[in-house]
Amino acid sequence: MATETTNSGSCCGTGSCGSDATIDVHGVGVGVTTVYKVSGMTCGHCEGAVSTEISALDGVTAVTAVATTGEVTVSSAAPLDEEAVRAAVDEAGYELVGHA
């Protein structure tokens, strides 16, 4: 599991690497789409770390993280427990602010 250890909230410090990270877990239709606000993402690596952790949650079918807006769009078979999403974002080294 990815861990962010820098104090700046950036994995690379420059905020210039990569683009939006999208992980399609199952490639099937989705039931619920929720947009969360996450603080600290600054680059493609950050997006990937958050996407990877959230995609590991049961029921998640797709995740798209966008560092420039701080938004993470999560598609799932059913509504997710916000505390589980918060724990996944924490594991990636970032902070879930709430719903966008």
pLDDT tens track for 2-61: 333 333 455 555 444 544 555 555 555 548 999 999 999 999 999 999 999 999 999 999
CA distances from 51 to 1, 15, 22 (A): 11, 17, 7
Has residue 25 been placed in a domain? no
Has residue 18 been placed in a domain? no
Has residue 8 been placed in a domain? no
Has residue 23 been placed in a domain? no
83: confidence class by pLDDT, cuts 50, 70, 90: very high
Please tell me the distance from the alpha carbon of residue 49 to that of residue 21, in angstroms, as a whole number.
9
Has residue 24 been placed in a domain? no
Domain that holds residue 47: 32-99
| β-bridge mates for residue 60, sequence order | 76
CATH of the domain at 41: 3.30.70.100
| β-bridge mates for residue 39, sequence order | 95
Say what the alpha-carbon torsion angle 41, 24, 2, 40 is, to the nearest 10 degrees: 10
7 or 81, higher pLDDT: 81
Please tell me the distance from the alpha carbon of residue 46 to that of residue 9, in angstroms, as a whole number.
9
Has residue 7 been placed in a domain? no
Has residue 78 been placed in a domain? yes
pLDDT at 26: 53
Has residue 70 been placed in a domain? yes
pLDDT at 2: 39
